[in-house]
Structure 1
Amino acid sequence: MDHEQPTLRRSEELSEIIEEQIATGIRQPGSRLDEQELAAEFGVSRTPIREALIQLAAAGLIDMRPRRGAVVADVGPARLCEMFEVMAELEAMCGRLAARRISAAEQNALQEAHRACEAARDAQNPDEYYRLNEVFHRVLYTASHNEFLAEQAIALHRRLRPYRRLQLRVRNRMQTSYSEHQAIVDAILAGDGELAAERLRGHVAVQGERFVDLVSSLAVLKTATPQEAG
Protein backbone atom coordinates (compact mmCIF):
# COMPACT_ATOMS: atom_id res chain seq x y z
CA MET A 1 0.00 0.00 0.00
CA ASP A 2 2.87 2.37 0.83
CA HIS A 3 4.24 1.84 -2.69
CA GLU A 4 0.89 2.58 -4.33
CA GLN A 5 0.38 6.04 -2.85
CA PRO A 6 3.44 7.76 -4.44
CA THR A 7 2.54 6.18 -7.78
CA LEU A 8 -1.03 7.43 -7.45
CA ARG A 9 0.10 10.94 -6.53
CA ARG A 10 2.58 10.98 -9.42
CA SER A 11 -0.11 9.83 -11.87
CA GLU A 12 -2.36 12.68 -10.71
CA GLU A 13 0.47 15.17 -11.22
CA LEU A 14 1.12 13.80 -14.70
CA SER A 15 -2.58 13.91 -15.50
CA GLU A 16 -2.68 17.60 -14.58
CA ILE A 17 0.42 18.37 -16.66
CA ILE A 18 -0.93 16.60 -19.75
CA GLU A 19 -4.35 18.21 -19.24
CA GLU A 20 -2.67 21.61 -19.16
CA GLN A 21 -0.81 20.78 -22.37
CA ILE A 22 -4.11 19.83 -24.03
CA ALA A 23 -5.76 23.02 -22.77
CA THR A 24 -2.98 25.21 -24.15
CA GLY A 25 -2.78 23.39 -27.49
CA ILE A 26 0.66 21.85 -26.98
CA ARG A 27 -1.02 18.48 -27.47
CA GLN A 28 -3.55 19.03 -30.20
CA PRO A 29 -6.87 17.28 -30.92
CA GLY A 30 -6.26 13.96 -32.67
CA SER A 31 -2.62 13.67 -31.60
CA ARG A 32 -1.42 10.34 -30.18
CA LEU A 33 -0.20 9.90 -26.60
CA ASP A 34 2.33 7.08 -26.58
CA GLU A 35 2.99 5.59 -23.14
CA GLN A 36 6.65 4.84 -23.80
CA GLU A 37 7.36 8.30 -25.24
CA LEU A 38 5.57 10.00 -22.34
CA ALA A 39 7.46 7.88 -19.80
CA ALA A 40 10.76 8.95 -21.39
CA GLU A 41 9.65 12.60 -21.57
CA PHE A 42 8.70 12.76 -17.87
CA GLY A 43 11.39 10.40 -16.61
CA VAL A 44 8.99 7.91 -15.04
CA SER A 45 7.93 4.31 -15.55
CA ARG A 46 4.94 3.50 -17.73
CA THR A 47 2.76 2.68 -14.71
CA PRO A 48 1.99 6.27 -13.59
CA ILE A 49 1.66 7.29 -17.26
CA ARG A 50 -0.92 4.56 -17.81
CA GLU A 51 -2.83 5.66 -14.69
CA ALA A 52 -2.71 9.30 -15.82
CA LEU A 53 -4.12 8.39 -19.23
CA ILE A 54 -6.94 6.42 -17.58
CA GLN A 55 -7.81 9.51 -15.51
CA LEU A 56 -7.79 11.73 -18.60
CA ALA A 57 -9.95 9.24 -20.50
CA ALA A 58 -12.44 9.19 -17.61
CA ALA A 59 -12.61 13.00 -17.83
CA GLY A 60 -13.26 12.74 -21.57
CA LEU A 61 -10.12 14.66 -22.55
CA ILE A 62 -8.62 11.72 -24.42
CA ASP A 63 -9.97 8.69 -26.28
CA MET A 64 -8.57 5.19 -25.84
CA ARG A 65 -8.65 3.59 -29.30
CA PRO A 66 -7.85 0.01 -30.33
CA ARG A 67 -4.39 -0.28 -31.93
CA ARG A 68 -3.86 3.51 -31.73
CA GLY A 69 -3.79 3.78 -27.95
CA ALA A 70 -4.57 7.13 -26.35
CA VAL A 71 -5.52 10.06 -28.59
CA VAL A 72 -6.40 13.63 -27.61
CA ALA A 73 -10.17 13.95 -28.01
CA ASP A 74 -11.32 15.82 -31.09
CA VAL A 75 -14.76 17.31 -30.49
CA GLY A 76 -16.80 18.65 -33.40
CA PRO A 77 -18.59 22.04 -33.29
CA ALA A 78 -22.08 20.51 -32.98
CA ARG A 79 -21.04 18.33 -30.04
CA LEU A 80 -19.29 21.28 -28.41
CA CYS A 81 -22.43 23.36 -28.70
CA GLU A 82 -24.43 20.60 -27.01
CA MET A 83 -21.91 20.34 -24.18
CA PHE A 84 -21.91 24.10 -23.57
CA GLU A 85 -25.71 24.02 -23.59
CA VAL A 86 -25.70 21.48 -20.76
CA MET A 87 -22.93 23.36 -18.94
CA ALA A 88 -25.02 26.55 -19.06
CA GLU A 89 -27.97 24.77 -17.42
CA LEU A 90 -25.80 23.18 -14.72
CA GLU A 91 -24.27 26.55 -13.86
CA ALA A 92 -27.69 28.22 -13.90
CA MET A 93 -28.90 25.65 -11.38
CA CYS A 94 -25.83 26.23 -9.21
CA GLY A 95 -26.47 29.97 -9.29
CA ARG A 96 -30.15 29.58 -8.41
CA LEU A 97 -29.34 27.42 -5.39
CA ALA A 98 -26.33 29.49 -4.35
CA ALA A 99 -28.46 32.64 -4.18
CA ARG A 100 -30.58 30.89 -1.54
CA ARG A 101 -27.95 28.89 0.29
CA ILE A 102 -24.61 30.73 0.13
CA SER A 103 -22.96 31.24 3.53
CA ALA A 104 -21.27 34.44 4.70
CA ALA A 105 -17.85 32.78 4.28
CA GLU A 106 -18.74 31.70 0.75
CA GLN A 107 -19.93 35.22 -0.08
CA ASN A 108 -16.51 36.50 0.95
CA ALA A 109 -14.78 33.77 -1.07
CA LEU A 110 -16.85 34.63 -4.15
CA GLN A 111 -16.02 38.33 -3.90
CA GLU A 112 -12.36 37.55 -3.29
CA ALA A 113 -12.26 35.29 -6.37
CA HIS A 114 -13.95 38.05 -8.38
CA ARG A 115 -11.36 40.64 -7.29
CA ALA A 116 -8.55 38.24 -8.22
CA CYS A 117 -10.05 37.92 -11.73
CA GLU A 118 -10.09 41.71 -11.93
CA ALA A 119 -6.32 41.86 -11.31
CA ALA A 120 -5.65 39.28 -14.05
CA ARG A 121 -7.94 41.19 -16.42
CA ASP A 122 -6.09 44.44 -15.74
CA ALA A 123 -2.78 42.66 -16.37
CA GLN A 124 -4.17 41.32 -19.69
CA ASN A 125 -3.14 37.81 -18.70
CA PRO A 126 -5.69 35.36 -20.18
CA ASP A 127 -4.02 32.24 -18.73
CA GLU A 128 -4.01 33.66 -15.19
CA TYR A 129 -7.54 34.94 -15.67
CA TYR A 130 -8.63 31.47 -16.73
CA ARG A 131 -7.04 29.88 -13.64
CA LEU A 132 -8.78 32.37 -11.37
CA ASN A 133 -12.01 32.05 -13.35
CA GLU A 134 -12.00 28.35 -12.44
CA VAL A 135 -11.74 29.31 -8.75
CA PHE A 136 -14.68 31.69 -9.16
CA HIS A 137 -16.89 29.00 -10.69
CA ARG A 138 -15.84 26.36 -8.13
CA VAL A 139 -16.94 28.68 -5.32
CA LEU A 140 -20.33 28.94 -7.04
CA TYR A 141 -20.64 25.17 -7.33
CA THR A 142 -19.80 24.72 -3.65
CA ALA A 143 -22.21 27.46 -2.62
CA SER A 144 -25.09 25.52 -4.21
CA HIS A 145 -24.75 23.08 -1.28
CA ASN A 146 -25.74 20.25 -3.61
CA GLU A 147 -22.79 17.87 -3.81
CA PHE A 148 -24.10 15.83 -6.71
CA LEU A 149 -24.78 18.94 -8.79
CA ALA A 150 -21.33 20.32 -7.94
CA GLU A 151 -19.68 17.03 -8.97
CA GLN A 152 -21.45 17.05 -12.34
CA ALA A 153 -20.62 20.70 -12.95
CA ILE A 154 -16.96 20.17 -12.09
CA ALA A 155 -16.71 17.12 -14.36
CA LEU A 156 -18.20 18.90 -17.38
CA HIS A 157 -16.24 22.08 -16.63
CA ARG A 158 -13.07 20.01 -16.75
CA ARG A 159 -14.17 18.37 -19.99
CA LEU A 160 -14.68 21.79 -21.58
CA ARG A 161 -11.51 23.27 -20.10
CA PRO A 162 -9.51 23.54 -23.36
CA TYR A 163 -12.40 25.26 -25.12
CA ARG A 164 -13.38 27.63 -22.31
CA ARG A 165 -9.75 28.66 -22.15
CA LEU A 166 -9.72 29.35 -25.89
CA GLN A 167 -12.68 31.70 -25.50
CA LEU A 168 -10.63 34.03 -23.31
CA ARG A 169 -8.22 34.65 -26.17
CA VAL A 170 -11.01 36.24 -28.23
CA ARG A 171 -10.64 40.03 -28.27
CA ASN A 172 -12.34 41.78 -25.32
CA ARG A 173 -13.62 38.45 -23.91
CA MET A 174 -11.82 38.91 -20.58
CA GLN A 175 -13.47 42.28 -20.03
CA THR A 176 -16.86 40.90 -21.03
CA SER A 177 -16.39 37.85 -18.80
CA TYR A 178 -15.46 40.03 -15.83
CA SER A 179 -18.51 42.25 -16.35
CA GLU A 180 -20.71 39.16 -16.50
CA HIS A 181 -19.11 37.90 -13.27
CA GLN A 182 -19.99 41.20 -11.60
CA ALA A 183 -23.62 40.85 -12.63
CA ILE A 184 -23.65 37.24 -11.33
CA VAL A 185 -22.13 38.26 -7.99
CA ASP A 186 -24.67 41.08 -7.61
CA ALA A 187 -27.60 38.71 -8.23
CA ILE A 188 -26.33 36.08 -5.81
CA LEU A 189 -25.58 38.57 -3.04
CA ALA A 190 -29.05 40.04 -3.54
CA GLY A 191 -30.52 36.55 -3.10
CA ASP A 192 -32.19 36.64 -6.52
CA GLY A 193 -31.96 33.03 -7.67
CA GLU A 194 -33.79 33.45 -10.97
CA LEU A 195 -31.67 36.41 -12.00
CA ALA A 196 -28.47 34.58 -11.00
CA ALA A 197 -29.55 31.57 -13.07
CA GLU A 198 -30.37 33.75 -16.08
CA ARG A 199 -27.03 35.56 -15.91
CA LEU A 200 -25.01 32.38 -15.49
CA ARG A 201 -26.83 30.74 -18.38
CA GLY A 202 -25.97 33.71 -20.60
CA HIS A 203 -22.38 33.73 -19.31
CA VAL A 204 -21.71 30.11 -20.28
CA ALA A 205 -23.94 29.52 -23.31
CA VAL A 206 -22.12 29.58 -26.65
CA GLN A 207 -24.44 31.08 -29.20
CA GLY A 208 -24.33 33.50 -32.12
CA GLU A 209 -21.04 35.37 -32.41
CA ARG A 210 -19.53 33.51 -29.47
CA PHE A 211 -20.07 30.19 -31.21
CA VAL A 212 -18.48 31.50 -34.41
CA ASP A 213 -15.53 32.84 -32.41
CA LEU A 214 -15.08 29.50 -30.65
CA VAL A 215 -15.15 27.52 -33.90
CA SER A 216 -12.60 29.92 -35.42
CA SER A 217 -10.33 29.56 -32.39
CA LEU A 218 -10.75 25.79 -32.53
CA ALA A 219 -9.57 25.77 -36.15
CA VAL A 220 -6.47 27.76 -35.17
CA LEU A 221 -5.76 25.34 -32.30
CA LYS A 222 -5.93 22.33 -34.61
CA THR A 223 -3.50 23.83 -37.12
CA ALA A 224 -1.05 25.47 -34.72
CA THR A 225 2.40 24.06 -34.13
CA PRO A 226 3.35 23.27 -30.49
CA GLN A 227 5.51 26.40 -30.39
CA GLU A 228 2.65 28.59 -31.65
CA ALA A 229 0.10 26.98 -29.35
CA GLY A 230 2.25 27.38 -26.24
Structure 2
Amino acid sequence: MSSMSGPLPEAVTAPPAQRPRRRRTASRAVTRTEELRLQIADDIVRGRIPPGTALEEMEVAKRYGVSRTPVREVIRDLAASGLVETRPHRSALVAKPSLDRLRGMFDVMAELEALCAGLCAVHMTKAERGQLEAIHAELADLTRRGDEANYTFLNDRFHTFLYGGAHNAYLAEITLATRARLQPFRRAQFRNLGRLALSYAEHDTVVQAILRGDKAEAASAMRSHILTVEVAYERYAEGV
Protein backbone atom coordinates (compact mmCIF):
# COMPACT_ATOMS: atom_id res chain seq x y z
CA MET A 1 0.00 0.00 0.00
CA SER A 2 1.26 3.43 -0.91
CA SER A 3 1.36 6.30 1.52
CA MET A 4 1.30 10.02 1.04
CA SER A 5 4.85 10.45 2.28
CA GLY A 6 6.31 10.58 -1.25
CA PRO A 7 6.33 13.51 -3.68
CA LEU A 8 2.87 14.90 -4.27
CA PRO A 9 1.55 17.88 -6.21
CA GLU A 10 1.74 21.37 -4.87
CA ALA A 11 -1.10 22.97 -2.94
CA VAL A 12 -4.42 23.28 -4.74
CA THR A 13 -4.11 26.96 -5.70
CA ALA A 14 -2.38 27.37 -9.04
CA PRO A 15 0.28 30.06 -9.53
CA PRO A 16 -1.23 33.33 -10.74
CA ALA A 17 0.18 32.87 -14.24
CA GLN A 18 -1.59 29.52 -14.62
CA ARG A 19 -4.89 30.37 -12.97
CA PRO A 20 -7.72 30.54 -15.54
CA ARG A 21 -8.92 34.04 -16.21
CA ARG A 22 -12.56 34.56 -15.30
CA ARG A 23 -14.62 35.79 -18.22
CA ARG A 24 -17.96 37.51 -17.83
CA THR A 25 -19.94 34.69 -19.41
CA ALA A 26 -18.04 31.93 -17.65
CA SER A 27 -17.65 33.51 -14.23
CA ARG A 28 -19.03 31.61 -11.27
CA ALA A 29 -18.20 31.20 -7.61
CA VAL A 30 -15.79 28.30 -7.10
CA THR A 31 -15.67 27.26 -3.47
CA ARG A 32 -12.48 26.18 -1.77
CA THR A 33 -13.95 22.70 -1.34
CA GLU A 34 -14.81 22.41 -5.03
CA GLU A 35 -11.36 23.66 -6.01
CA LEU A 36 -9.78 21.09 -3.72
CA ARG A 37 -11.96 18.31 -5.10
CA LEU A 38 -11.01 19.15 -8.68
CA GLN A 39 -7.30 19.29 -7.83
CA ILE A 40 -7.18 15.97 -5.94
CA ALA A 41 -9.36 14.27 -8.56
CA ASP A 42 -7.08 15.57 -11.29
CA ASP A 43 -4.00 14.31 -9.46
CA ILE A 44 -5.58 10.86 -9.11
CA VAL A 45 -6.72 10.68 -12.74
CA ARG A 46 -3.26 11.79 -13.92
CA GLY A 47 -1.63 9.09 -11.78
CA ARG A 48 0.18 11.53 -9.50
CA ILE A 49 -1.52 9.85 -6.54
CA PRO A 50 -1.54 6.14 -7.45
CA PRO A 51 -4.18 3.53 -6.55
CA GLY A 52 -3.68 2.14 -3.07
CA THR A 53 -2.50 5.42 -1.58
CA ALA A 54 -3.92 5.99 1.90
CA LEU A 55 -5.52 9.42 2.23
CA GLU A 56 -4.82 10.54 5.78
CA GLU A 57 -7.00 13.59 6.39
CA MET A 58 -4.38 15.54 8.32
CA GLU A 59 -1.67 14.87 5.77
CA VAL A 60 -3.91 15.70 2.81
CA ALA A 61 -4.94 18.94 4.51
CA LYS A 62 -1.30 19.87 5.10
CA ARG A 63 -0.24 19.05 1.54
CA TYR A 64 -2.99 21.16 -0.02
CA GLY A 65 -2.96 23.95 2.55
CA VAL A 66 -6.52 23.50 3.82
CA SER A 67 -8.31 22.43 7.00
CA ARG A 68 -9.57 18.91 7.62
CA THR A 69 -13.22 19.86 7.09
CA PRO A 70 -13.13 20.27 3.28
CA VAL A 71 -10.84 17.23 2.99
CA ARG A 72 -13.48 15.06 4.65
CA GLU A 73 -16.16 16.35 2.27
CA VAL A 74 -13.94 15.93 -0.78
CA ILE A 75 -13.16 12.31 0.11
CA ARG A 76 -16.89 11.57 0.28
CA ASP A 77 -17.42 13.18 -3.14
CA LEU A 78 -14.52 11.29 -4.71
CA ALA A 79 -15.85 8.02 -3.32
CA ALA A 80 -19.06 8.65 -5.30
CA SER A 81 -16.96 8.93 -8.48
CA GLY A 82 -15.18 5.69 -7.71
CA LEU A 83 -11.84 7.44 -7.28
CA VAL A 84 -11.64 6.75 -3.55
CA GLU A 85 -12.60 3.76 -1.45
CA THR A 86 -13.79 4.64 2.04
CA ARG A 87 -13.33 2.22 4.95
CA PRO A 88 -14.97 2.40 8.40
CA HIS A 89 -12.59 3.79 11.05
CA ARG A 90 -9.66 3.69 8.62
CA SER A 91 -8.12 6.02 6.07
CA ALA A 92 -9.69 6.11 2.64
CA LEU A 93 -7.73 4.57 -0.23
CA VAL A 94 -7.24 5.88 -3.75
CA ALA A 95 -9.06 3.51 -6.09
CA LYS A 96 -9.35 3.07 -9.83
CA PRO A 97 -12.95 2.72 -11.05
CA SER A 98 -13.61 -0.25 -13.30
CA LEU A 99 -14.13 0.37 -16.99
CA ASP A 100 -17.59 -1.21 -16.75
CA ARG A 101 -18.62 1.19 -14.00
CA LEU A 102 -17.36 4.20 -15.94
CA ARG A 103 -19.11 3.13 -19.11
CA GLY A 104 -22.33 2.62 -17.17
CA MET A 105 -22.08 6.12 -15.70
CA PHE A 106 -21.40 7.65 -19.11
CA ASP A 107 -24.35 5.78 -20.62
CA VAL A 108 -26.67 7.29 -18.02
CA MET A 109 -25.09 10.72 -18.45
CA ALA A 110 -25.60 10.54 -22.21
CA GLU A 111 -29.31 9.82 -21.84
CA LEU A 112 -29.84 12.53 -19.23
CA GLU A 113 -28.06 15.20 -21.27
CA ALA A 114 -29.81 14.06 -24.45
CA LEU A 115 -33.13 14.57 -22.69
CA CYS A 116 -32.04 18.03 -21.56
CA ALA A 117 -30.95 19.05 -25.04
CA GLY A 118 -34.16 17.79 -26.62
CA LEU A 119 -36.27 19.73 -24.14
CA CYS A 120 -34.15 22.84 -24.74
CA ALA A 121 -35.14 22.70 -28.41
CA VAL A 122 -38.78 22.88 -27.33
CA HIS A 123 -38.76 25.05 -24.23
CA MET A 124 -35.89 27.54 -24.44
CA THR A 125 -37.04 31.16 -24.59
CA LYS A 126 -35.75 33.61 -27.16
CA ALA A 127 -33.59 35.27 -24.50
CA GLU A 128 -32.13 31.93 -23.44
CA ARG A 129 -31.31 31.04 -27.04
CA GLY A 130 -29.43 34.31 -27.30
CA GLN A 131 -27.48 33.50 -24.14
CA LEU A 132 -26.70 30.04 -25.50
CA GLU A 133 -25.33 31.57 -28.69
CA ALA A 134 -23.17 33.94 -26.63
CA ILE A 135 -21.66 31.09 -24.59
CA HIS A 136 -21.10 29.08 -27.76
CA ALA A 137 -19.36 32.04 -29.44
CA GLU A 138 -17.02 32.45 -26.47
CA LEU A 139 -16.19 28.74 -26.61
CA ALA A 140 -15.27 29.26 -30.26
CA ASP A 141 -12.85 32.02 -29.27
CA LEU A 142 -11.25 29.85 -26.56
CA THR A 143 -10.94 27.00 -29.06
CA ARG A 144 -9.13 29.21 -31.57
CA ARG A 145 -6.67 30.27 -28.84
CA GLY A 146 -6.21 26.76 -27.52
CA ASP A 147 -7.17 27.95 -24.04
CA GLU A 148 -7.83 24.60 -22.35
CA ALA A 149 -8.21 25.98 -18.81
CA ASN A 150 -10.89 28.54 -19.62
CA TYR A 151 -12.57 26.21 -22.11
CA THR A 152 -12.95 23.64 -19.33
CA PHE A 153 -14.63 26.20 -17.04
CA LEU A 154 -16.93 27.50 -19.78
CA ASN A 155 -17.73 23.98 -20.96
CA ASP A 156 -19.25 23.32 -17.53
CA ARG A 157 -21.25 26.54 -17.88
CA PHE A 158 -22.46 25.48 -21.35
CA HIS A 159 -23.79 22.14 -20.13
CA THR A 160 -25.29 23.61 -16.95
CA PHE A 161 -27.08 26.23 -19.04
CA LEU A 162 -28.68 23.46 -21.10
CA TYR A 163 -29.90 21.71 -17.95
CA GLY A 164 -31.68 24.92 -16.95
CA GLY A 165 -32.93 25.51 -20.49
CA ALA A 166 -34.85 22.23 -20.37
CA HIS A 167 -37.15 23.87 -17.80
CA ASN A 168 -37.45 20.74 -15.70
CA ALA A 169 -36.03 21.27 -12.22
CA TYR A 170 -35.88 17.60 -11.26
CA LEU A 171 -34.11 16.64 -14.48
CA ALA A 172 -31.58 19.43 -13.90
CA GLU A 173 -31.00 18.21 -10.34
CA ILE A 174 -30.26 14.59 -11.22
CA THR A 175 -28.20 15.56 -14.28
CA LEU A 176 -26.00 17.86 -12.19
CA ALA A 177 -25.56 15.14 -9.57
CA THR A 178 -24.51 12.61 -12.20
CA ARG A 179 -22.14 15.08 -13.82
CA ALA A 180 -20.48 15.74 -10.45
CA ARG A 181 -19.55 12.05 -10.28
CA LEU A 182 -18.13 12.04 -13.79
CA GLN A 183 -16.48 15.47 -13.73
CA PRO A 184 -12.89 14.28 -13.12
CA PHE A 185 -13.09 12.04 -16.17
CA ARG A 186 -14.83 14.62 -18.34
CA ARG A 187 -12.12 17.18 -17.56
CA ALA A 188 -9.30 14.77 -18.34
CA GLN A 189 -10.38 14.22 -21.95
CA PHE A 190 -9.44 17.79 -22.90
CA ARG A 191 -5.77 16.83 -22.62
CA ASN A 192 -6.02 14.78 -25.81
CA LEU A 193 -4.51 16.53 -28.81
CA GLY A 194 -7.17 18.31 -30.86
CA ARG A 195 -9.96 17.57 -28.38
CA LEU A 196 -10.96 21.24 -27.89
CA ALA A 197 -11.79 21.69 -31.58
CA LEU A 198 -13.69 18.41 -31.71
CA SER A 199 -15.65 19.27 -28.55
CA TYR A 200 -16.62 22.63 -30.01
CA ALA A 201 -17.75 21.02 -33.28
CA GLU A 202 -19.90 18.56 -31.33
CA HIS A 203 -21.39 21.44 -29.33
CA ASP A 204 -22.14 23.27 -32.56
CA THR A 205 -24.29 20.40 -33.83
CA VAL A 206 -26.24 20.45 -30.56
CA VAL A 207 -26.64 24.24 -30.55
CA GLN A 208 -27.83 24.47 -34.15
CA ALA A 209 -30.42 21.75 -33.56
CA ILE A 210 -31.71 23.58 -30.47
CA LEU A 211 -31.91 26.89 -32.33
CA ARG A 212 -33.89 25.15 -35.12
CA GLY A 213 -36.23 23.66 -32.54
CA ASP A 214 -35.31 20.14 -33.67
CA LYS A 215 -35.88 18.07 -30.53
CA ALA A 216 -34.84 14.70 -31.96
CA GLU A 217 -31.63 15.99 -33.54
CA ALA A 218 -30.64 17.96 -30.44
CA ALA A 219 -31.05 14.85 -28.28
CA SER A 220 -29.19 12.63 -30.75
CA ALA A 221 -26.31 15.09 -31.13
CA MET A 222 -25.91 15.47 -27.36
CA ARG A 223 -26.02 11.72 -26.79
CA SER A 224 -23.29 11.27 -29.38
CA HIS A 225 -21.24 14.06 -27.78
CA ILE A 226 -21.27 12.52 -24.31
CA LEU A 227 -20.42 9.05 -25.60
CA THR A 228 -17.53 10.59 -27.56
CA VAL A 229 -16.33 12.19 -24.30
CA GLU A 230 -16.24 8.71 -22.79
CA VAL A 231 -14.09 7.40 -25.65
CA ALA A 232 -11.80 10.45 -25.40
CA TYR A 233 -11.31 9.83 -21.67
CA GLU A 234 -10.50 6.15 -22.22
CA ARG A 235 -7.93 7.16 -24.87
CA TYR A 236 -6.40 9.62 -22.40
CA ALA A 237 -6.34 7.04 -19.58
CA GLU A 238 -4.50 4.54 -21.76
CA GLY A 239 -1.62 6.98 -22.04
CA VAL A 240 -1.36 7.88 -18.35
TM-score under structure 1 length normalisation = 0.79
Give the distance between the partners of 2:76 and 2:194, measured in 1 at CA.
37
The aligned counterpart of 2:236 is 217
Deviation, 1:80, is 1.3
The aligned counterpart of 2:111 is 89
Residue of structure 2 aligned with 1:187, choices 209, 214, 220: 209
| AA partner of residue 37 (structure 2) | I
The answer on whether the counterparts of 2:120 and 2:166 sit within 8 Å (CA) in structure 1 is yes
Residue of structure 2 aligned with 1:13, choices 29, 32, 35: 32
| AA partner of residue 34 (structure 1) | E
Deviation, 1:44, is 4.7
Q: Summarize the Cα distance change of 1:69–1:199 in structure 2 as closer, same or farther, 3 Å threshold.
A: same
| AA partner of residue 125 (structure 2) | S
User: Which one scores higher on RCO, CA 8 angstroms, separation ≥ 6?
Assistant: 1
Give the distance between the partners of 2:140 and 2:52, measured in 1 at CA.
35
The aligned counterpart of 2:152 is 130
| AA partner of residue 63 (structure 1) | E
Q: Summarize the Cα distance change of 1:143–1:105 in structure 2 as closer, same or farther, 3 Å threshold.
A: same
Q: Percent identity over the alignment? A: 38
| AA partner of residue 121 (structure 2) | A
Q: Deviations over 1:12-64 (max 9, x none)?
A: 52343232331353545553321111232345543443244334445655331
- 1:191-202 map, 5 Å: 191-202=213-224
Give the distance between the partners of 1:162 and 1:62, measured in 2 at CA.
12
Residue of structure 2 aligned with 1:164, choices 178, 186, 205: 186
Deviation, 1:101, is 0.8
What secondary structure sits across from 1:145 in the alignment?
coil
What secondary structure sits across from 2:92 in the alignment?
strand
Residue of structure 2 aligned with 1:23, choices 42, 52, 55: 42
Residue of structure 2 aligned with 1:146, choices 157, 164, 168: 168
The answer on whether the counterparts of 2:83 and 2:97 sit within 8 Å (CA) in structure 1 is no
Deviation, 1:180, is 1.2
More helix by share: 1
The aligned counterpart of 1:224 is none
The aligned counterpart of 1:117 is 139
5+ unaligned residues in a row in structure 1: which ranges? 1-11, 222-230
Q: Summarize the Cα distance change of 1:214–1:44 in structure 2 as closer, same or farther, 3 Å threshold.
A: closer
What secondary structure sits across from 1:160 in the alignment?
helix
Deviation, 1:140, is 0.4
5+ unaligned residues in a row in structure 2: which ranges? 1-30
Q: CA RMSD in A?
A: 2.4
Give the distance between the partners of 2:51 and 2:127, measured in 1 at CA.
40
**How many pairs were matched up?**
207
What secondary structure sits across from 1:128 in the alignment?
helix
Residue of structure 2 aligned with 1:98, choices 94, 106, 120: 120
The aligned counterpart of 1:50 is 72
Deviates more, 1:22-31 or 1:101-110: 22-31
Give the distance between the partners of 1:165 and 1:28, measured in 2 at CA.
18
TM-score under structure 2 length normalisation = 0.76
Deviation, 1:156, is 1.4
Give the distance between the partners of 1:51 and 1:173, measured in 2 at CA.
31
Deviation, 1:87, is 0.8
Q: Summarize the Cα distance change of 1:170–1:164 in structure 2 as closer, same or farther, 3 Å threshold.
A: same
